[in-house]
């Protein structure tokens, strides 16, 4: 028997560890307009936040009726430059990582981004050391979020039962994937996704990252 509330804490990356979603959405809106599908930021959040790049591109191509590879590749450098200049950790998340580490619970990253993007963002924000060797990407599975495959893959690789896993997510697709995997979801509503879009069974919605350790049943590290 164990007194730990969970054996594994699975963190999404964008919007949970690194404050990237606002930056991405700013550029997504510009790209979509150039591609001929102008979209409000609220709809971008609803449709695309939490999904893989491949899924987003496929939906855009289906809508505009053509391949957008050339424009997509040309614009990808804009994201890299913006993140290099402005990306920061989510406020309060370092204290959360300290608290989880001190609790003895394992943790990993499971993000829809590809491996180079995840590593680049974690390096930029100083968070890579927390997750080296425990990074899982949407590219590792056939079906990305909201399918449960990525979280189930991460749990299996980490040797954890799904029922003993908690997932920290900030998108409706992410919390849906956690629920489908049979894991407990913690929906962070301090970012771009409205709290109502995160609510559902086996899901705790919170707005202040500093509150997460208490919700996970552990104490926060007051040093951070």
Told to judge if 12 belongs to the known catalytic residues of this protein, a careful annotator would answer yes
Residue 167 region by backbone torsions, left for phi larger than 0, else alpha for psi between -120 and 50, else beta: beta
Beta strands in the chain (DSSP E): 8-11, 106-111, 135-137, 165-169, 184-188, 203-206
How many C-beta atoms lie closer than 10 Å to residue 193's C-beta? 25
Among 14, 19, 28, 170, the active-site one is 14
Q: Which of 115, 150, 143, 146 is nearest to 131 (CA)?
A: 115
Handedness of CA 127, 187, 136, 100 (dihedral sign): positive
Active-site residue, from 7, 12, 19, 139: 12
* Dihedral class, residue 149 (left if φ above 0, else alpha if ψ from -120 to 50, else beta): alpha
d(CA 5, CA 141): 28
Inter-residue contact 166 to 183 (CB < 8 Å): yes
Catalytic annotation present for 149:
no
Cα separations in angstroms, 59 against 8, 67, 131, 171: 33, 11, 31, 18
Whole-number Å distance between alpha carbons of 123 and 88: 11
Q: Please confirm whether the linkage preceding 100 is cis (ω < 30° from 0).
A: no
Residues annotated as catalytic are: 12, 14
């Amino acid at each position: 028997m164990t007194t730990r509330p969970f054996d594994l804490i699975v963190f999404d990356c964008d919007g949970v560890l690194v404050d990237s979603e606002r930056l991405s959405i700013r550029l997504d809106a510009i790209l979509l307009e150039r591609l001929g599908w102008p979209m409000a930021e609220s709809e971008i959040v609803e449709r695309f936040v939490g999904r893989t790049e491949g899924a987003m591109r496929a939906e855009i191509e289906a809508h505009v009726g053509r391949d957008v590879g050339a424009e997509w590749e040309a614009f990808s450098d804009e994201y890299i430059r913006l993140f290099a200049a402005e990306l920061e950790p989510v406020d309060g998340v370092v204290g959360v990582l300290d608290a989880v580490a001190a609790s003895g619970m394992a943790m990993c990253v499971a993000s829809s981004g590809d491996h180079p993007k995840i590593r680049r963002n974690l390096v930029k924000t100083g968070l890579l050391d927390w997750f080296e060797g425990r990074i899982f990407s949407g590219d590792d599975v056939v079906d990305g979020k909201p399918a449960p495959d990525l979280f189930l893959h991460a749990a299996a690789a980490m040797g954890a039962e799904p029922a003993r896993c908690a997932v920290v997510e900030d998108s409706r697709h992410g919390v849906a994937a956690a629920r489908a995997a049979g894991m407990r979801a913690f929906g962070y509503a301090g970012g771009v996704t409205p709290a109502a879009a995160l609510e559902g069974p086996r899901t705790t919605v919170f707005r202040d990252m500093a509150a997460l350790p208490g919700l996970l049943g552990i104490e926060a590290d007051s040093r951070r």
